[in-house]
Amino acid sequence: MTELETQLLETQKQVQEALATVTNESELEECRAKFLGRKGLLPALMSQLGKVPKEEKPAVGKTLNAVKNSVQEAFDACAAKIKESKEEQEALDISLPARHHAIGHKHPISLVMDRAVAIFRSMGFIVADGPDLENVWNNFDALNAPQDHPSRTPEDTFYFDLDKRHWLDPETMILRTQTSPVQIRSMKAQQPPVRIVCPGRCYRRDTPDATHGMSFHQIEGLYVDENVSLADLKGTLAVFSREMFGPNTKIRFRPHFFPFTEPSVECDASCIVCGGTGCRVCKGSGWIEIAGAGMVNPAVFKNVGYDTEKVSGFAFGLGIERIAMIRYSINDLRLLYDNDVRFLHQF
């Protein structure tokens, strides 16, 4: 191989290395001028072909043509690549606003649950949790529910293993009918003071309709300490109602009966739709029931080993679906579970 052929092949290599770093038309033109311009490296080498001995010219000429064609192809390929990249950049206007992609949002039940927990946390309550699958003793017996109470029958409660155990057996397993068993578990696990809320899912054999379902959510509260009174309960529920439904919301207590509280009350909040003047939502009364509550029955304290002479406490339970229906003016419970995107999109 002659010295000219060596220089030609070296120039070809330099062209390939130079074009590998070219990113725009300006750099390409600089590279073209360096290698293919009137004073470029390749024309300078081509001018030396006349000095090559006659017998070597065919071989050198063949190498020169091959290098020239290869270099031209490399420049053409680089130019095409730059043009394609430029067209893509022109098609993408980075100054345009970004496309909005819906990422979903929380379900109204979750919204109400989170809000309720936040309100009670602000009053010093902590969140306690327990299993959905519970035994009869924690769900009924420890809460002072009599054995002939209608809620204990298999027609009202989901029982397991009834072929092996009787439904009154304390160890029979059920799907919890309320979140109150979490209160029992918490009191068995610690001595007073106890200040907890128990949010979660519950299960009952109800026929689904506009206000009932077989699976629903509750948040229950328990406060046990020395000298706890009914006034403390009323103050707690009054703060919750104002935070959940508005600053002008009022509450009232009505006498009631629950096996696990004595005295027992039902708590009503002034209607947020009419402000208490009476409307279709509150059936003209101006009040909407929001909770069952009362002072913890001493029998419950005895079941968990608390000294009834030293401590007292209150408990309350609120239905999350009912609060959601009141808060968002929903007239049918089933809307919360139909998964209709048109409905859920409103939240």
Tell me: the pLDDT tens digits for 304-340?
999 999 999 999 999 998 898 888 888 787 888 888 8
Q: How far apart are the C-alpha atoms of 253 and 234, rounded to whole Å?
A: 8
Q: How far apart are the C-alpha atoms of 318 and 315, rounded to whole Å?
A: 10
Question: Cβ–Cβ contacts within 10 Å for residue 20, how many?
Answer: 9
Give me the pLDDT at residue 91, please. Answer: 65
Residues 233 and 193 in one domain: yes
Residue 318 lies in a domain: yes
Residues 12 and 128 in one domain: no
Strand order in 261-270's β-sheet? 126-127, 194-203, 215-225, 312-319, 287-296, 261-270, 251-258
Residue 102 lies in a domain: no
Identify which of 316, 336, 321, 337 has the alpha carbon closest to the alpha carbon of residue 179: 316
Q: How many percent of the chain have pLDDT more than 90?
A: 44
Question: Cβ–Cβ contacts within 10 Å for residue 239, how many?
Answer: 15
Residues 267 and 144 in one domain: yes
Q: Which residue has the tokens 């081509």?
A: 46
Identify which of 142, 141, 144 has the alpha carbon closest to the alpha carbon of residue 264: 144
Residue 322 lies in a domain: yes
Split into its structural domains, the chain has a count of: 2
- The residue range of the domain holding 46 is 3-91
Q: Name the residue with higher pLDDT: 276 or 22.
A: 22
Q: Would the CA dihedral through 162, 166, 172, 176 be positive or negative?
A: positive
Residues 80 and 214 in one domain: no
Residues 271 and 189 in one domain: yes
Mean pLDDT of 221-248: 94
Tokens of 116: 């309720």
Domain end call among 59, 91, 123: 91
Residue 220 lies in a domain: yes
Residue 182 lies in a domain: yes
Here the CATH number for the domain that contains residue 289 is 3.30.930.10
Q: 57-100 pLDDT, tens per residue?
A: 788 788 878 888 888 888 888 888 888 887 776 666 677 787 77
Domain end call among 30, 64, 91: 91
Residue 154 lies in a domain: yes
Residues 268 and 120 in one domain: yes
The overall average pLDDT reported for the chain is 87
Residues 34 and 145 in one domain: no
Counting Cα atoms < 13 Å in the Cβ hemisphere of 347 gives: 21
Residue 204's pLDDT band, with cuts at 50, 70 and 90, is very high
Give me the pLDDT at residue 89, please. Answer: 66
Residues 220 and 184 in one domain: yes
**Is the pLDDT assigned to residue 342 strictly greater than 90?**
no
Question: Cβ–Cβ contacts within 10 Å for residue 257, how many?
Answer: 12
Q: Which residue has the tokens 């401590």?
A: 311
Domain end call among 34, 57, 91: 91
Q: How far apart are the C-alpha atoms of 134 and 329, rounded to whole Å?
A: 34
Mean pLDDT of 112-123: 95
Residues 59 and 115 in one domain: no
Residue 86 lies in a domain: yes
Mean pLDDT of 119-141: 95
Helical packing angle, 230-245 and 108-122, nearest 10°: 130
Residues 40 and 65 in one domain: yes
| Beta strands in the chain, from DSSP E residues, in sequence order | 126-127, 133-135, 173-175, 194-203, 215-225, 251-258, 261-270, 287-296, 312-319
Mean pLDDT of 28-35: 83
Residues 124 and 250 in one domain: yes
Give me the pLDDT at residue 292, please. Answer: 94
Identify which of 160, 150, 261 has the alpha carbon closest to the alpha carbon of residue 206: 150
Residue 98 lies in a domain: no
Residues 269 and 146 in one domain: yes
